[in-house]
Amino acid sequence: MQYKISKRASSLTPSMTLAIDAKAKQLRAQGVDVIGFGAGEPDFDTPQHIKEAAIKALNQGFTKYTPSAGLPELRKAIAEKHLHENGIVYKPEQIIVSCGGKHACYNVIMAICDEGDEVIIPAPYWVSYPEMVKLAGATPVYIQTTDATDFKVTPEQLRAAITPRTRLFILNSPSNPTGTVYTREEIKALADICIEQGVLIMSDEIYEHLLYEGAEHVSPASLSPAHYEHTIIVHGFSKAWSMTGWRLGWSAAPAPIAAAIDAIQSHSTSNPTSFAQKGALEALTGPRDHLREWLVEFDKRRRYAYQRLNSMPGITCTNAKGAFYLFPNISRLGLTSLEFCSRLLEEEKVAAVPGVAFGAEGYIRISYATSMTNIEKGLDRLERFVSQLYKAGA
């Protein structure tokens, strides 16, 4: 039978990051020694005290519906997190708990974008931003950045991209896929333009806690009352607490936008998983000793991978100070990023994500959210592969 698929669904590009990670896992299950640099999740387990809180909730029968916007005590804890960590005052009613940071992004875009609106997205970008914009009937407008500017948008670029139809500017710092962290001054310069032009900012801050070399996280909402009014924060528990499979995130927004997000969520997912929210509450209110240990390990891997990549012929790599990604430039090696990653997986059994998936041809994304043993082995294979390419092109 022939099935009619909606234009919305037909227009979507499948997530290349998930596809590559799934391919690597499939090969590994078949006994192939694959090194995976494609994962966008920490390789550490969820801290035990968080798991125990969810298990306790399950054992106590906490398995029913919750309010669509999330448990009141969790929303309050998130508001307190923003106050104590970011200096931003939110009422619990302005916090909407969602089924992951991705779901929070989707909710925000659906709540504020209409057909014909434009959404400005810096490239390289997280693969799901453009697809969410398309689902809302809006148009993605890309600002291309390169490693020459550490993948940062300039105020001049942003101003030139804004039109009367611009509704939203998406800012992701620290960034996936580049690991770029904007400074306070850089964020203010961009946010000031958005205020001047009446453009809202969706600030994706899910990598907030993964910072190195003294880098500082700054939310545009913290800069002034006007910045606060123009900013919607999206965040989640996946990265800093390694809760990717729990699917819990949140948005923090001006009250009218929060109410619209809640209305959308109430008719889509009903509510985030009840007992998982109890685990999230423990994540925010319990100890965070794990994060200090994780950051030491991530930083060790980051420094090693950064040095190794820059020592390879034909490759250059910027010094990313956030998240757990590096985004090396492979443009001198004579292959497209897709050809490069396909051959790398086929010939050396190393999985990486092509830059074209993030709107940036000529680069690949390397995740160092894997063991140091895997990183060493994988980079040995990568170096062998690029050395052969470099010699062939010399």
Main-chain dihedrals φ then ψ at residue 370, nearest 5 degrees: -150, 170
pLDDT, residue 28, reads 84
Q: CA 10 to CA 303: how far, in whole Å?
A: 41
Q: pLDDT tens across 128-162, in order?
A: 999 999 999 999 999 999 999 999 999 999 999 99
Ordered by start, the domain boundaries in the chain are: 7-46+289-393, 49-285
User: pLDDT at position 64, please?
Assistant: 98
Residue 322 pLDDT exceeds 50:
yes
Residues 88-141 have pLDDT tens digits of: 999 999 999 999 999 999 999 999 999 999 999 999 999 999 999 999 999 999
> Averaged over 7-35, what is the pLDDT?
85
CA dihedral 20, 101, 295, 148 (to 10 degrees): 70
pLDDT at res. 75: 99
Instruction: Report yes or no: 239 and 210 within 8 Å, Cβ to Cβ.
Output: yes
Share of the chain above pLDDT 70, in %: 100
Res 367 pLDDT > 70:
yes
Global pTM value: 0.95
Side chain identity at 300, as an amino acid letter?
A: K
Q: Which fold has domain 7-46+289-393?
A: Aspartate Aminotransferase, domain 1 (3.90.1150)
Q: Beta partners for 233? A: 203, 252
For residue range 61-92, what is the model confidence (pLDDT) as tens digits? 999 999 999 999 999 999 999 999 999 999 99
Helix H, strand E, coil C: the string for 125-179 is CCCHHHHHHHHCCCEEEEEECCHHHCCCCCHHHHHHHCCCCEEEEEEECCCCCCC
CATH topology of domain 49-285: Aspartate Aminotransferase; domain 2 (3.40.640)
pLDDT of 214 higher than 70: yes
Q: Look up residue 320 and give its two tokens.
A: 């990313």
User: What average pLDDT score do residues 305-321 get?
Assistant: 98
pLDDT of residue 394: 46
Q: Check whether 195 has a pLDDT greater than 90.
A: yes
Look up residue 241 and give its two tokens.
């607490």
